[in-house]
Amino acid sequence: MREQSETTDRNFQLILIKPSHYDDDGYVIRWWRAMIPSNSLAALYGIAADCAERRVLGPGVGIEITVIDETNTRVNTSALLRQLKTNDNFGMVALVGVQSNQYPRALDIARPFREAGIPVSMGGFHVSGCLSMLDGHAVGLDECREMGISMFAGEVEGRLDKVLQDAASGTLAPLYNFMNDLPSIEGAAVPFLPKTNVAQTLGLSTSFDAGRGCPYQCSFCTIINVQGRKSRFRTADDVEKLVRMNWAQGIHKFFITDDNFARNKDWEAIFDRLIELREKDGIPLGLMIQVDTLCHKIPNFIEKSKRAGVTRVFIGLENVNPDNLTAAKKNQNKITEYRKMLLAWKAQGIMTLAGYILGFPADTPDTIRRDIAIIQHELPLDVIEFFVLTPLPGSEDHQTLFRKGVAMDPDLNIYDVEHVCTEHPKMSKQEWESIYQEAWSLYYSPEHMKTLLRRAVATGVPLARLVKVLVSFATTVPLENVHPLQSGLLRLKHPSERRPDMPRERALVFWPRFVGETITKHLKLGGTIARLAVTALMISRDKNAKTYMDQALTPVGDHEDETLELFTKTAGGQAAVSHIKKVNELTHAHRAG
């Protein structure tokens, strides 16, 4: 997508590229329609469009913006080089929101542009995280310096003017480091993407961040070290503005990317404004939000979520073993609150998704299998997203291993939270990788998916919506060997997009195999869709479907901690229950006194 400012004598070509990364066969992961929109791309486009409107390069110079999300659009390097050449190479390439697993691909994208003398800048979690937590030469950053790529660390609000001006004048600095000066986002240019870009995602959905930063200290997290522990927020006016901008082009579904929207101090003002837009202005908002496991304790939070248009909620559950949560410094997660919290969302008919990390120090294949069975039986969760515990550059975990000299895999491409990157105290690499693969088939067994559909009817979760999500999460890992969050509709490949260090395959070999694989995968996918659709239809026609009840849907009882395996199967679970009982005894004694 190209967006141009009003007619001028000369236009600066700003090419925004959000890189994908390589699969295990070395091919770029790209889809006809990708699942998740890029908020980094939306945020940077919004800021760049504001720069163009304000004429930051001078009254006679416009800014023409090209937007490419490589998860759904091929980076046609030759065409982009021609576009720049016809403009006397007056422009730059900005590699946006580059994560560690995308860093090798980002360098490969940058290389031909740098060889042609085009200014290239790179920002995102890898550069920012490494500069925040390690020395300035750690984890491949010297490759940027050697190639002449300008690195941008921090957030670009209020700073893009300078970068564009330097690029236009040929004086782009090697490094722009704002990690110690995080900007306010109140009143800043809001995230936005033109509809032609949003249309490349499933469901025509886009994203925005209502806030940044997190006060918690999870050791595996990079967000706290890149966006800071001090929270910063957009106002309700900002959110209304971006909603109306998107609604004007027919877009009304949003992923609010805040790591924990429940901790946004202005959540209620934002929800009230969204409720007004839905109920008074008739904008049919559909939202997905991310929250913590204590959000149900905030009065009216879940009820207003429903009215604001929330249809899906992602919860950072991470684990059901308190010992593992303590090891990761995620002490804010209380397993004694899990069922209350999940049932509160169920009461509103909102689909629940949870992140679950495999590979904490206490994990073994057997304990992971046990814990998945406990979740299936006792927690009213709809969808689980499994992740491999990964020492991501920018996290405390990575910093600790780096400083101790502990071996970590040198290939950043696999730091995608689905590959094993370092050793585990109780599992071999093969065992760890195998249980990750097995976890998906264990949770998304035909029998358990049938249970999930029964629970959906009983709690008012739209059945067709859940079927769509289950299809993706049950099939993506076995069929595509990528995480469902990296998935989409119709995998696309091109021989030219293979990693440079892997041999280029001949067209007569590549294309027949690709077509054959695509047909085979879609036949299997069609079978899964058919089976789930038939199961859902039968359940929906069952006259007793709405009264279905099982252990997970049972209301929280006074003494369930004495019987549920969630509390009895781990030492940490038993300790958590004992702590709650002591607190209750002391509270009652104090009141009695």
Torsion of CA 493, 495, 500, 506, to 10 degrees: 150
Question: 355 has which bridge partners?
Answer: 385
Burial of 115 (0-12, 13-18, 19+ CB in 10 A): exposed
Helix (H, G, I), strand (E, B), or coil: what is residue 339?
Answer: helix
C-alpha 370/C-alpha 375 separation (Å) is 9
| Amino acid code (one letter) for 48 | A
Question: How many C-alpha atoms does 5 have within 13 Å on its Cβ side?
Answer: 25
| Amino acid code (one letter) for 194 | P
C-alpha 399/C-alpha 443 separation (Å) is 33
C-alpha 532/C-alpha 275 separation (Å) is 34
Burial of 464 (0-12, 13-18, 19+ CB in 10 A): exposed
C-alpha 385/C-alpha 206 separation (Å) is 21
Question: How many C-alpha atoms does 249 have within 13 Å on its Cβ side?
Answer: 15
| Amino acid code (one letter) for 258 | D
Residues sharing a CB contact under 8 Å with residue 459, sequence separation 6 or more, in sequence order: 346, 347, 349, 380, 553
Residue among 184, 156, 125, 129 nearest 42 (CA): 156
Helix (H, G, I), strand (E, B), or coil: what is residue 508?
Answer: helix
Q: Where do we find the tokens 């998304």?
A: 444
The pair phi, psi for residue 147, each rounded to 5°, is -90, -10
Question: 22 has which bridge partners?
Answer: 28
Pair of tokens at residue 39: 């908020």
Q: Domains, the chain, ranges and CATH?
A: 10-177 (3.40.50.2300), 203-444 (3.20.20.70)
Q: Are 397 and 465 in contact (CB under 8 A)?
A: no
Torsion of CA 233, 236, 242, 243, to 10 degrees: 130
Question: 385 has which bridge partners?
Answer: 355
Q: Are 130 and 160 in contact (CB under 8 A)?
A: no
pLDDT number for residue 590: 52
Burial of 48 (0-12, 13-18, 19+ CB in 10 A): buried
How far is Cα of residue 348 from the mean position of the Cα atoms in its chain? 24
How far is Cα of residue 207 from the mean position of the Cα atoms in its chain? 11
Question: 388 has which bridge partners?
Answer: 358
pLDDT by 10-residue block (mean), the chain, 593 residues: 60 98 98 94 98 95 97 97 97 98 98 98 96 87 96 96 98 96 95 96 94 87 89 95 98 94 93 98 97 92 98 91 78 80 96 96 95 95 97 94 94 97 96 98 98 97 96 96 95 95 95 97 97 97 95 84 78 56 52 54
Q: Are 276 and 241 in contact (CB under 8 A)?
A: no
**Terminal CA-CA length for the chain:** 70
Using alpha carbons, list the distances in angstroms from residue 543 to 25, 462, 538, 547.
Answer: 49, 17, 10, 9
Helix (H, G, I), strand (E, B), or coil: what is residue 207?
Answer: strand
pTM beyond 0.85: the answer is: yes
DSSP 499: -
Query: Helical H runs in 405-506?
Result: 429-443, 446-459, 463-480
Residue among 153, 235, 230 nearest 190 (CA): 235
C-alpha 533/C-alpha 515 separation (Å) is 26
